Structure 1
Amino acid sequence: MIDTDRLRNWLKQYHNPDVAYREIISVTNQYKGLQPEQSLYNFNDGSMIELVNLSGTIPVRYKGSVYNIPICIWLMDTHPQNAPICYVKPTSDMSIKVSMFVDQSGKIYLPYLHDWLPNESDLLGLIQVLIVTFGEQPPVFAKASDPYSSNTFMSQPSGSYMPPYPTGYPPANNFGGYPPYPPTSNNAYPGYAPYQTPYPPYPGNNFGAPQPPVGTGTIKEEHIRESLMTALEEKLLRRMKEQFQQNQAELDTLKRTQDELRQGKSKLDGILSRLEKEKNDLDKNITMLQDKEQELEKAIERISNQESIDVDDAVTTTAPLYKQLLNAFAEEAALEDTIYYMGEALRCGVIDLDVFLRQVRSLSRKQFMLRALMQKCRQKAGLNV
């Protein structure tokens, strides 16, 4: 059972304690063989810092059997900005099997760690990658008391040797703690930037143990058959993996194409809907114009059949007051025109200035009286003044 209060106390020094806490809880809930611990981590520059790590075992399926592989995952205090540091921690009856993923000290190198993305990579994905990788290339093998017995090395026809299949390791609950890691290269801290350099080269057939002499008595038919089957299985696994990756890439391309087609379909549906609405509006406007056109034709036909109307007869008032107002307005407008044309006559030299002034004075007095009369009529009629 995990002490959550203690775990939160350990993570106080971390930059993103909530993220680290959620990932640790998620991992321990799914992989019961891993437990969080806090201890000092030694960097290659001699500095030390207290970090939280996940220690224990993870279940790895290899050739139809499940084995508990002991590991330890150190979380940097900048997690998840920087990738964790991972080690294989073999027990006393195990030896490290050096490969392109594990070096002699047990440090783990993976593309997942090298290409760590803070917003996408997490501890659960890292452990799943470890399980798949170790299922193809086990990182440890069991030690044997007799280095030349067939249980320790399985001979191959070429005379080289390969480590045996992993034997059953102790269960996760019996996995003990491990001492602090020795300083490793490319992990100076602060300024730590893990997995930014290419993987170090590892010898192809050097497994950290002297090569025993191979005699004719140690090569048996079942060994040769098992070696051939192992090589065939690894080749088939590689081809299946390549085929799977190729199919996955094609599937991703098809999914992207499908998404683009769906987006295009949505856009086309929107355009068609707008066009349909505009067509309906246009049909309504055409119908309305046709109705108006028919009304105009009827009105023109009705007017053409009527007798001519006298304009003076058409302008009739309903009361004497309105008639007086209409006459005053018409007379005032006539005086306005008269004064205008008298000014034009003066400008052209048709009349003298004395005549112009005398006539304008008389007309202006009369115009003033007419305007006063119109104002009083409008007041009596209740119209706006």
Structure 2
Amino acid sequence: MAPQPSIRFVDAALSRTSPCVLSYRNTDQKWLIRQHLLSLLQEFPTLSPSTDTFVHDDGTTVYLLNVSGSLLVTHATPTVPLTIWLHQDYPNAPPIVFLSPTPTNPILPHHPFVDPSGVTTSPYLQTWHYTHSNLSDLTHNLVCLFAHQHPFISPSRSFIRRFTNPSLVSKVEAIDRLFGALHCDMVDLNSKAVQEIQELSKVQAQLVDRAHVAKTILVGLEHERTSLKQRVTELTEESDVLLNWLKVNGSNYVVGTSGDEIEAFEASDEDSRIMLDCVAEDLAIEDCIYELDRTVAEGVVTFDQYMKQIRSLAREQFFHRATQMKLRPQTSV
């Protein structure tokens, strides 16, 4: 039999009319709730009944019965503090189970039956049916689940192996073990998927960088292609101009046909030859003066040596330019 204080509390709560009336309206429903609660409290005397306001996820506020306390799972593990709320549509709707984690005793991550906030979901609750489901069987099922995998202590290898133990004592336990094994597999697959996604994200970033580099290279090549096409057009136009000029003036010039590149620049008469020599000497002197300027700037020769050479070269250049001015009217160079 359940403790007498608990029986009196349940009877008083269910018969209350005001001010804090419970959200259970049907008399038969209240009688069934009383039976299930007293049966639970008889089997688990560490739990005690209470009433309080409950707020659903959609914001609906109801006043419900609940039982709370510490659930002994095994003698080798800590007790599990929990609260079981009886839904306003109980037993047609399953009860709502919450564990009570603390900052120093949080829920284990990736637990197959309990989320980090303490909300508990099990195959028994998911397959709840009022004709064969009750609070006592639910609590026994929770003890079995938490014995397999405690919500506050990392499971040992023996506990993990128990999920895949082929020796099953009941259909419910088989479903629970299958659910736990599937959850463990799902956590492993999710961890691998997250790792693969991170690696693929890195590869994607590298591909984006390479695509940017390739695009930059393509833009540069396109600009170079455009410049080359423009240059080809300019050279073609200059070639046409040169061909047209040769058609008009080509007969006035002697073109070497022996295949010797030097003979192609030989003058057609003595005056032209002298003119070419003078121009060549003039340009050579210009190059020499330029090199002297560079050497004196670098300190290779002294300033006196530089002036002596410049005077000599300037005198020679003067005579060459005077010869060019004299012969220019008489030659075609």
What TM-score, normalized by structure 1, do the two folds share? 0.38
Of Structure 1 and Structure 2, the greater helix share is in 2
Higher relative contact order (CA 8 A, sep 6+): 1
